[in-house]
Chain A
Amino acid sequence: MHPFDRAFRLILPVGAVAVLVTVLAVGWFTEPDQLLKGYEPAQPIPFSHKLHAGTMKVPCLYCHVGATRSRIAGVPSVETCMNCHRVTKTNSPAIIQLTRIYESGRPLLWKRIHDLPDYVYFDHRPHVHAGIACQTCHGEVQTMDVVYQHMSMRMGNCLGCHRDPHAALPEHSPVKRGPENCYACHR
């Protein structure tokens, strides 16, 4: 066998496969979804969505008022918690901590779970108005004691739904597709 033949028949394919495997392996382990899905940090106040949204059936929009009025759904102000907790469960240590924060006026730092890059301008309004349930993207929050990231926040995921949204939409929804052009989300 000519040395060149050996190179072409053996070393090159093996080398190519090795490179490919390395790239794929590194890609797989550093893939943002692998890293970001299931992110479940501890919060400064052990607030349970399972209790509030599940058992007590407090509507999502009671606290996340921005979802229908603004691009940002928003995390409720401490004052919103105090609407109930002035009288409810005032003896619980977490509520005592909450009351102290409220009275001091200090900011309450929640750990961010869902995050989009700065160049993405997701707007909650059209999604909520189209009747898409919050759970479609955020998971069954009403069953979570500690909220974690349910869905991938990658562009492919957005586009998948924009191209074929019928599973996410209520029955008989007039919406057929979501926009797919760049400026719909990027500015």
Chain B
Amino acid sequence: MRAHLKRGMPRHWRSLEERTPTPDLRAEGWNEFAPGAAEPMAPPADVLSRRRFLGLVGATAALAATAACSKVDRGFIVPYTKRPVEVVPGVANYYASTFQEGRRAYSVLVKTREGRPIHITGNDEHPAFKGKTSPRAMADIMRLYDPDRLRGPRIDGRPALWSEADRLLVEALRSAKATGNGVLLLTGAVLSPTRRTLIADMKSALPGLEHAAWEPAAGDAELSAARAAFGGPALVKTKIGQAKVILSLGADFLGGDDPESVAAFAAWRRPRGPGEPMNRLWALEGAMTLTGAKADRRVPVKPSQAAPLAFALARALNERGVPLPAGVQASALPQGKSQGNPLSAEEWGALLNDLRGARGEALVVCGASMPPEAHVAAHLLNAMVGGTLAQARPAEPLASLRDLDGVVRRMASGGYEAVIFWGVNPVYAFPDADRLTAAMERAPLKVWMGVIEDETSARCRIVLPEHHWLEAWGDYGDGDGVVSLQQPTVGPLYDTRQGEEVVMGWLKGLGAVPSADYHAYIQTRWRKEVYPQGSPVSFERYFEAALHDGLVRTGSGIPAALAFNGTAVEVARGPSSAAFDQGFELLLAPGYAVYDGRYANIGWLQELPDPVTKNTWGNPLSLSVADAEALGLGDGDMVKIEAGKAAMEMPILVQPGQAEGVLVLALGYGRSAGSVAAGIGVNAFKFMDAGSSSPNVRTGVRIAKTGGRRDLPITQAHHRMEGRDIVRSYTLAGYAREAAEPRPAEDLVTLYDPQKFPLHKWGMVIDQSACVGCSGCVIACQSENNIAVVGAEQVVRGREMQWIRIDRYYEGDPRRPGTVHQPMLCQQCDDAPCENVCPVNATNHSPDGLNQMAYNRCVGTRYCGNNCPYKVRRFNFFEYTAFKKDPEALAYNPEVTVRPRGVMEKCTFCIQRIEDARMRARDENRPLRDGEIVTACQAACPADAIVFGDLKDPGSRVSLLSKSDRGYKVLAELGVRPAITYLANLTNPAAGEEQA
């Protein structure tokens, strides 16, 4: 069992307390269960007391006994009056659509049952996404069913009719047109070519219209750096799949919202044998991101240091014979080995060697939150060693925070006759909200359009409810030769309208004559601009095919890559060293789950543990280990941070691997509107500096301990594994040794009869080397299996319900730890310890190797959860579904039981999908095919780290992979014979000193 220690295996740890246990921890925290895990929630005063409850139970029983003498009414069956041809009750339909978030448009498949969307996955027709999507895209289905959604238009806070709102607005726009006054239209990023056309139409009908597209969490530096380096707004399109060496400057391209990059990266990370090549990832970053966690060598670097370091790298590369692009003077670049370089000489040399050796196949990626200088430096390095892997392509410009500041100034001077906010929430996300609201007072008409009321809508006179994207039409161009379509997958739930159609109504009022509806408007544009002229296929057929696939590969409209302009370096180099003074640096990054706050009302995402900090429900301030020690702070201690005029109190979280002198705070929390979102965390947007070119990095931040303490809802310290060989991680060289000399299989004696599996034996393989920890599987499972959200108070007690969790293990020095992610779910053990302790046989074994859980038989003793060595069983301490409000229940998967209070539950390997595939195969009179059954977690995994299948079929993918020389079973020494094989994590660190 402790063999790994003898073999010099790294010892993994989960939390700082575990690494250096204190006596205090031994006393209480070492306990497997969190304090309070067994106590019930204190009932609020107005809730039933125990005595009253018992009284009611007695009365109910007596009533039931008398009432039961009549036949029980079983309600109604309501068939369709006119059944849509494509709907067979009980059979799911899939529709291709597109979901936009910020500057990304995800091509997705929407699973619907009886006309209501219940699950979202990626669209497998899409050449880049290949059937994968982001956790947030999957969870956005809950925004459709959000009880807080607006149900109709409102004027001055009272419900109104659309006609009234239309009339008011058209009058205002007409008067603005007559007087020539300005009208502001503030939207999010516009990726839809048709919406762009519509806004252009609007502009020509109303010359005073000023349109600004603003993404508060997107980071302004990327575009401003691109303006300098490429002469215009541009975005870098990276080919991560072709890169042998990747250097990340604070970039989080493995952060789950970029499934394309995760897939391309992971494809390199699962060699079938020791001889196969792997890519190498270097990460220089201040925060601990998922990308850094996956890096082969990660160096904590302050965001402000990234640019000088990268410029120094360019100079050192130049000294080693890599030519600089035209216009860059080597002498203008700083020296690398100057003091204060956070990389050791050995690391510096190895990084240089890697970048030089992989010229043309090396890639430098810079994070969106990084300062513009760092972006210019990344562009410079890419121009030197990147070949064609990083291509700058012209992009639609976005309004930066500075631009928005200008807009607010104009608003304050009374420059706008009307302001229209469409799908944006500036009152929340603009740093100086007071100034904005004061400025808004000067605008005679304030209009807001969106899905869920927010801070901004509360200050607008006319509030217009928009369709959720699952109810609306749209199209998106990705600038890569693919145009995707968004189609309604459900009729509008409320009296809402498609946003574009509202704008079309204004156009009509202004005298322009647009199409009848937005669907027709899209088709008109498509007929002109997308449909290939002279095609033998009619347009109707063409559009229908596009709707079916969700996209069209036009192959056109790919802009040429822009060339790097060397003079940008001169400009960028200047401020980098001077602008950053002493004090802490505060890095403001989009919240992993809530992004810029738009998802803050979705419980699934609030409860999704951040894959690195494992924190749920809020945004504590992350602090490096050294800083926390110096300040005498521990997890949950309250601090006050001050930056300029902004000051706020919040709890802290000590984050191993974070750079010293760096504070990290997630954006998107601290909302004041929304029944779920309000009051969770603090609003980090307040710390943004509207005057800075790099608003996401704030310098000169002061921090002070205030003395209070708060329990953080962290899932990390639960399910601890007591220093056993749970995760395995090899270097590529270590893997070769391991493969050459495999460990002897443990021959464990069992007292049980061997299990027999007549037909199938379901099993799974999880490749920890491919897994990046993005947590897409967690959300997919939550959606597929109707998993409850329990709230922060319950998470503190270790009662979170997710069936699959991502365990995160650190190894080594807490200042620079290595990290391994391990998805942990029910292992479906052959000799499952949970089964033989169940007093009512509610959990037992199926003939195809599943550890079954019959909810209706469970009496809730929790013996099974206690006896489970993996701690993957989840108990319903409360009737969590009782807190559901209409229409949230519509998101339920009708193929999975909704579990009541007092029942144990756990992963079923998506038995509903297994059964469905089995029935289909039987209907078609054929055996099940390998790969036909795809579990929800597997379908969602962008890294393709999860493989499910039949272990009895020797040719199945899962059988072949489970025999891999990286394969092992977690806690094999217990002899429970789990059905999941884990493949050891692999790293590919650079070896040796500088050789050049």
Partner of A78, one of B65, B79, B847, B915: B79
* Alpha-carbon gap, A106 to B76, bound state (A): 14
Partner of A112, one of B75, B853, B854, B896: B75
| A66–B89 touching, CB < 8 Å | yes
Name the segment of B66-74, B126-134, B323-331 touching the other chain: B66-74
Using Cβ atoms and an 8 Å threshold, which residues of chain B touch A108?
78-79, 81
Task: Encode contact with A along B884-905: 1 for CB under 8 Å, 0 otherwise.
Answer: 0000000000011110000000
* Alpha-carbon gap, A179 to B895, bound state (A): 19
Q: Decide: A78 near B90, CB < 8 A? Known: A117-B856, A183-B908, A186-B897.
A: no
Q: Is B45 an interface residue (CB 8 A)?
A: no
Q: Is A118 an interface residue (CB 8 A)?
A: yes
Task: Encode contact with A along B843-861: 1 for CB under 8 Å, 0 otherwise.
Answer: 0111100101111110000
What residue of chain B has the Cβ atom nearest to residue A103's Cβ?
B81
Partner of A115, one of B74, B88, B89, B912: B74
* Alpha-carbon gap, A30 to B83, bound state (A): 39
| A129–B74 touching, CB < 8 Å | no
A160-187 residues at the B interface, CB under 8 angstroms: 179, 181-184, 186-187
A65-119 residues at the B interface, CB under 8 angstroms: 65-66, 68-72, 74-80, 101-102, 105-113, 115, 117-119
Q: Decide: A77 near B79, CB < 8 A? Known: A72-B90, A121-B912, A183-B908.
A: yes
Q: Is B404 an interface residue (CB 8 A)?
A: no
Using Cβ atoms and an 8 Å threshold, which residues of chain B touch A183?
846, 850, 852, 908, 911, 915
Task: Encode contact with A along B519-558: 1 for CB under 8 Å, 0 otherwise.
Answer: 0000000000000000000000000000000000000000
Using Cβ atoms and an 8 Å threshold, which residues of chain B touch A109?
76-78
* Alpha-carbon gap, A171 to B88, bound state (A): 31
| B915–A66 touching, CB < 8 Å | no
Q: Is B752 an interface residue (CB 8 A)?
A: no
A-B pair count, CB < 8 Å, reads: 132
Q: Is A39 an interface residue (CB 8 A)?
A: yes
| B897–A110 touching, CB < 8 Å | no
Using Cβ atoms and an 8 Å threshold, which residues of chain B touch A125?
919, 922-923
A42-80 residues at the B interface, CB under 8 angstroms: 65-66, 68-72, 74-80
| A36–B898 touching, CB < 8 Å | no
Q: Decide: A123 near B846, CB < 8 A? Known: A78-B79, A187-B895.
A: no
* Alpha-carbon gap, A108 to B89, bound state (A): 16
Using Cβ atoms and an 8 Å threshold, which residues of chain A touch B896?
187
* Alpha-carbon gap, A123 to B273, bound state (A): 44
Most buried by B among A38, A68, A119: A119
Using Cβ atoms and an 8 Å threshold, which residues of chain B touch A105?
81-82
Instruction: For residue A109, give the distance in angstroms from its CB to the closest CB of chain B.
Output: 4
Q: Is A18 an interface residue (CB 8 A)?
A: no
Q: Is B3 an interface residue (CB 8 A)?
A: no
| A36–B72 touching, CB < 8 Å | yes
Chain A facing B: main interface SS: loop
A interface residues, how many (CB within 8 angstroms) = 49
Instruction: For residue A137, give the distance in angstroms from its CB to the closest CB of chain B.
Output: 16
Instruction: For residue B848, give the distance in angstroms from its CB to the closest CB of chain A.
Output: 8
Most buried by B among A77, A106, A121, A182: A182
Instruction: For residue B84, give the distance in angstroms from its CB to the closest CB of chain A.
Output: 9
Q: Decide: A126 near B852, CB < 8 A? Known: A78-B81, A101-B81, A112-B74.
A: no
| A107–B855 touching, CB < 8 Å | no
| B846–A110 touching, CB < 8 Å | no
| A110–B77 touching, CB < 8 Å | yes
Q: Is A20 an interface residue (CB 8 A)?
A: no
| B83–A112 touching, CB < 8 Å | no
What residue of chain A has the Cβ atom nearest to residue B64's Cβ?
A30
Q: Is A35 an interface residue (CB 8 A)?
A: yes
Partner of A110, one of B79, B852, B857: B79
What residue of chain A has the Cβ atom nearest to residue B79's Cβ?
A75
| A181–B852 touching, CB < 8 Å | yes
Q: Decide: A187 near B81, CB < 8 A? Known: A35-B68, A182-B846.
A: no
Chain B facing A: main interface SS: loop
| A119–B856 touching, CB < 8 Å | yes
| A79–B81 touching, CB < 8 Å | yes
| A110–B908 touching, CB < 8 Å | no
| A30–B65 touching, CB < 8 Å | yes
* Alpha-carbon gap, A79 to B72, bound state (A): 30
* Alpha-carbon gap, A74 to B69, bound state (A): 29
Using Cβ atoms and an 8 Å threshold, which residues of chain A touch B850?
183
Using Cβ atoms and an 8 Å threshold, which residues of chain B touch A77?
79-83
* Alpha-carbon gap, A26 to B77, bound state (A): 31
Q: Is B91 an interface residue (CB 8 A)?
A: yes
| A187–B88 touching, CB < 8 Å | no
* Alpha-carbon gap, A71 to B918, bound state (A): 12
Partner of B852, one of A111, A118, A182: A182
| B846–A129 touching, CB < 8 Å | no
| A66–B856 touching, CB < 8 Å | no
A121-138 residues at the B interface, CB under 8 angstroms: 121, 123, 125-126, 129
* Alpha-carbon gap, A76 to B81, bound state (A): 9
| A79–B82 touching, CB < 8 Å | yes
Partner of B844, one of A74, A106, A182: A182
* Alpha-carbon gap, A131 to B201, bound state (A): 63
| B78–A107 touching, CB < 8 Å | yes
| A113–B74 touching, CB < 8 Å | yes
Using Cβ atoms and an 8 Å threshold, which residues of chain A touch B853?
182
What residue of chain A has the Cβ atom nearest to residue B854's Cβ?
A182
* Alpha-carbon gap, A35 to B74, bound state (A): 12
Partner of B81, one of A29, A71, A102, A111: A102
Partner of A71, one of B65, B73, B79, B90: B90
What residue of chain A has the Cβ atom nearest to residue B845's Cβ?
A181
* Alpha-carbon gap, A156 to B906, bound state (A): 26
Using Cβ atoms and an 8 Å threshold, which residues of chain B touch A38?
71
Instruction: For residue B605, give the distance in angstroms from its CB to the closest CB of chain A.
Output: 25
Most buried by A among B79, B852, B896, B898: B79
| A35–B923 touching, CB < 8 Å | no
Using Cβ atoms and an 8 Å threshold, which residues of chain B touch A111?
74, 76-77
Using Cβ atoms and an 8 Å threshold, which residues of chain B touch A126?
919, 922
Instruction: For residue A82, give the distance in angstroms from its CB to the closest CB of chain B.
Output: 9
Q: Can you list 28 A-B pairs, Cβ within 8 angstroms, ordered by A? A: A26-B65, A35-B68, A35-B72, A38-B71, A66-B90, A68-B923, A70-B89, A77-B80, A78-B79, A78-B82, A79-B83, A80-B83, A106-B81, A107-B79, A107-B81, A108-B81, A109-B77, A109-B78, A111-B76, A119-B855, A121-B915, A123-B919, A129-B923, A181-B845, A183-B852, A184-B846, A187-B896, A187-B897
Q: Apart from A77-B82, A106-B81, what are 20 other A-B pairs with CB-CB below 8 Å?
A: A29-B68, A35-B71, A39-B72, A39-B74, A66-B91, A69-B88, A75-B79, A76-B79, A79-B83, A102-B82, A108-B81, A113-B74, A118-B898, A121-B912, A121-B915, A181-B847, A183-B915, A187-B908, A187-B912, A187-B915
Top 10 A-B residue pairs of the complex, sorted by shortest distance between their CB atoms: A70-B90, A72-B90, A77-B83, A181-B846, A182-B852, A77-B80, A115-B74, A109-B76, A182-B854, A112-B74
